[in-house]
Amino acid sequence: MLFNIPMETLPREEIEALQLRRLQDLCARVYANVPFYRKRFNDIGITPGDIKRLDDVKLLPFTEKQDMRNNYPFGLFCAPRENIVRLHASSGTTGKATVVGYTARDLQHWAECGARSLCCAGVTPRDIVHVAYGYGLFTGGLGAHYAAERLGATVIPASGGATRRQVQLMRDFGANVLCCTPSYALHLWEAGQEVGIDFRELPLRVGVFGAEPWTEEMRRDIEQKMGIQAMNIYGLSEVMGPGVAMDCLESKTGMHLWEDFFLPEIIDPVTGESLPEGEVGELVLTTLTKEGIPLIRYRTRDLTTLDYTPCACGRTHVRIGRLRGRSDDMLIIRGVNVFPQQIEGLILEAEGLSPNYQIIVDRVDNLDTIEVQVEMNETLFSDEIRKLQALEARLRKNIKEFLGVSAKITLLSPRSIERSEGKAKRIIDKRPK
Ligand code: ADP
Ligand code: ZN
């Protein structure tokens, strides 16, 4: 089922024509109303009238997270303060929080993107949607909430926390859909085990998981444990919140990015040059309709690909590949680039290990060291020590072989890594800055 058939199946030429009109309008709006952008445009000698073709977006300056911080809190707002009806702030995973403001129309568009995204996962107005993303300044909770309401589903605004009770509510209310981070989904599953609730016996059918990096291996693990379809949703508060892009049931190989609202580009994160379709690079997004805080060529730091090939679901909007990690999350260990997701993939391939892990990076005698702490699952835990050693050795060997770094492996007893109610903390970097 599609939420907005005409828009979601708009032919490519029409999408591009719409994007160009909206881009021109956006440039005129920010030039007139945001001194930061007017100065940026003037500095490089460009006026809104110079945008004649869609490709001219490349003439425009980038906007970075630091620009939002420098203009904290409301400096980049484009609408008068009295027209702003909601504020959110990013969780500040990588530094000081950034503030975003929405007009009433922005919130309508966000709910539309969210409702389309839920439809992509097969959610219908008859479903009961349990939202366990945190409610508050973080966009996850309210984003999923208004998306489900816009679709006409029944929403349970559980937020994060009180995990065992949440599992009981899911059972009692008969939730069909679970929205939360993938790590919290696993935490809920564990809590279910503790109180004797088997997710596979619940009416739960689909999970809408995002807000943190996760792997295909993690998807399979969750699907198997919970007996559901685990779908990937992408969003970021600077650009809007959850629902910027979403997996569809038909393909599950990429997330449709709503191109009537966002204009995507992929660039080389080092040189800033545009990359051809299919190459991995940094996702850059221009918000085409936003009024509160529109952004021109926002550098997301998220690494992915763009795929314009037609999708079996009939939607014409481009698909972005599973996020390869944030350029800021990349660890450089003795010169080798390592993403936590690569380690997660290797952990989940190893039998007997759980998806609960932490990566501890340190520097000893001027040499980077990396330790992977990973919990064994219950079955393995009760097994013999010899097997444990073999398992440690295998994971160490695989990390060495695939990633080229020597890591110390520490197997922990089940439930010894602290669970997060939102985004999981995967990396502890103790190296001096
Ligand atoms: P913060 O920047 O403080 O973490 P947000 O809560 O807005 O603020 O987080 C947005 C970021 O979360 C994205 O830029 C991306 O790195 C990550 N993210 C969101 N959804 C996904 C997803 N489905 N897969 C991987 N990473 C994601
Ligand atoms: Zn599709």
Question: Given the CA of residue 91, which atom of ligand 1 is nearest to it?
Answer: 3
The H or E element containing residue 420 is none
Q: How far is the CA of 339 from the centre of ligand 2 (A)?
A: 27
Mean pLDDT (whole number) for 168-192: 97
Summarised one tens digit per residue, pLDDT across range 314-371 is 999 999 999 988 878 889 998 888 999 999 999 999 988 999 999 999 999 888 999 9
Ligand closest to 89 (CA) is 1
Q: Is the peptide bond before 73 cis (omega within 30 degrees of 0)?
A: yes
Summarised one tens digit per residue, pLDDT across range 19-31 is 999 999 999 999 9
User: Burial level of 346, CB count in 10 A (0-12/13-18/19+)?
Assistant: buried
In degrees and rounded to multiples of 5, residue 247 shows phi and psi of -60, 150
**Given a cut of 90, is residue 205 above it in pLDDT?**
yes
Q: What per-residue confidence (pLDDT) applies to 93?
A: 59
Least confident of 87-91, 180-184, 226-230, 382-386: 382-386
Summarised one tens digit per residue, pLDDT across range 46-80 is 999 999 999 999 999 999 999 999 999 999 999 99
Going by C-alpha positions, the residue among 342, 356, 323 that lies closest to residue 185 is 356
* Helical segments of 92-200, H only: 104-120, 139-151, 163-173, 182-194
At residue 184, the 3 state secondary structure works out as helix
Q: What per-residue confidence (pLDDT) applies to 346?
A: 94
> Which residues have CB under 6 Å of ligand 1?
90-93, 138-139, 210-213, 232-237, 300, 302, 323, 326
Return the residue matching tokens 């702030």. 89
Question: Given the CA of residue 210, which atom of ligand 1 is nearest to it?
Answer: 23
- Whole-model pTM? 0.92
**Given a cut of 70, is residue 11 above it in pLDDT?**
yes
Q: How far is the CA of 424 from the centre of ligand 1 (A)?
A: 12
Mean pLDDT (whole number) for 204-212: 97
CA distance 238 to 262: 12
Q: What per-residue confidence (pLDDT) applies to 386?
A: 75
Going by C-alpha positions, the residue among 78, 22, 28 that lies closest to residue 48 is 28
Question: Given the CA of residue 302, which atom of ligand 1 is nearest to it?
Answer: 16
Q: How far is the CA of 301 from the centre of ligand 1 (A)?
A: 10
Return the residue matching tokens 């009692």. 172
Mean pLDDT (whole number) for 291-310: 97
Give the single-character DSSP code of 219.
Answer: H
- CA distances in angstroms from 335 to 94, 253, 330, listed in the order given: 22, 31, 11
Ligand closest to 316 (CA) is 2
Residues flanking ion ligand 2, Cβ below 5 Å: 248, 251, 311, 313, 315
In this structure, the strands spanning 241-247 and 408-412 are: unpaired
Q: How far is the CA of 238 from the centre of ligand 1 (A)?
A: 10
**Given a cut of 70, is residue 91 above it in pLDDT?**
no
User: Burial level of 315, CB count in 10 A (0-12/13-18/19+)?
Assistant: buried
Summarised one tens digit per residue, pLDDT across range 145-164 is 999 999 999 999 999 999 99
Cβ(408)–Cβ(371) below 8 Å: yes
Ligand closest to 91 (CA) is 1
Q: Which residue has the least CA distance to atom 10 on ligand 1?
A: 236
**Given a cut of 80, is residue 267 above it in pLDDT?**
yes
